[in-house]
């Protein structure tokens, strides 16, 4: 059984669909339509497409079509056979370069790694930059026990409701025990 909840936020004319399973293609963040409109499905593809597969479905399909190699998608090619783009001045010269890069050797031993594992360090740096951008997009909030009086809702409170839904998606929702109230 698939449970889907729909919230219409009248002030921003946004339709947000929350998934309660892993099989339904739908957005997992209330800001997906805003992110799509701002071009984030392409600019910040990995982060946004993971959270907004419904809103970013056209961009995901376009990326998959562009990534196809001789009729196979990149996902169908085992990692050791995956196509590698290397420039003439930046290539990995050792089989363990990727392992070393993930072990922070690009920072700990930059001269050797730049000379011998240029591509792995480039990918590692790109991943670190992506993670920093993704973290910067996350609301700077900490977990707090929310009570009904923290978010009194009434007519015209669509914005508060959207924020509450965003927080519940970010931190997860749990039932408050009697001793916690």
Domain count, the chain: 2
1, 19 contact by CB (below 8 A): no
46 and 11 within one domain: yes
74 and 6 within one domain: yes
13 and 73 within one domain: yes
Q: Residues, the chain, total?
A: 181
130 and 107 within one domain: yes
Residue 157 lies in a domain: no
Render pLDDT for 151-160 as a digit per residue (tens, 0 to 9).
Answer: 566 666 677 7
45 and 119 within one domain: no
**Nearest-5° Cα angle at 23, 77 to 42:** 60
Positions of E strands within the chain: 4-9, 14-19
- Kindly report the pTM of this predicted structure: 0.31
177 secondary structure, DSSP code: P
Q: Residue 159's CB: how many other CB atoms inside 10 A?
A: 12
Q: Which domain holds residue 114?
A: 84-138
Render pLDDT for 31-84 as a digit per residue (tens, 0 to 9).
Answer: 888 888 988 888 888 777 778 888 888 888 887 777 654 444 444 434 443 334
Residue 177 lies in a domain: no
67 and 56 within one domain: yes
Residue 165 lies in a domain: no
58 and 13 within one domain: yes
């Amino acid at each position: 059984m698939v449970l889907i909840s729909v919230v219409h936020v009248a002030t921003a004319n946004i339709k947000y669909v929350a998934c309660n399973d892993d099989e339904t293609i739908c957005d997992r963040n209330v800001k997906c339509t805003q992110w799509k409109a701002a071009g984030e499905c392409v600019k910040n593809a990995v982060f946004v497409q993971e959270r907004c597969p419904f809103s970013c479905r056209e961009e995901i399909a376009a990326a998959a079509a562009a990534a196809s190699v001789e009729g196979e998608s990149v996902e169908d090619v085992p990692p050791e056979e995956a196509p590698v783009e290397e420039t003439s001045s930046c290539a990995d010269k050792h089989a363990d370069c990727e392992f070393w890069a993930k072990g922070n050797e690009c920072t700990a031993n930059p001269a050797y790694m730049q000379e011998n594992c240029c591509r792995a360090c480039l990918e590692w740096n790109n991943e670190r930059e992506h993670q920093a951008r993704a973290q910067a997009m996350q609301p700077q909030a900490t977990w707090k026990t929310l009570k009904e009086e923290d978010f009194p809702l009434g007519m015209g409170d669509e914005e508060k409701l959207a924020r509450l839904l965003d927080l519940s998606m970010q931190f997860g929702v749990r039932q408050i025990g009697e001793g916690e109230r």
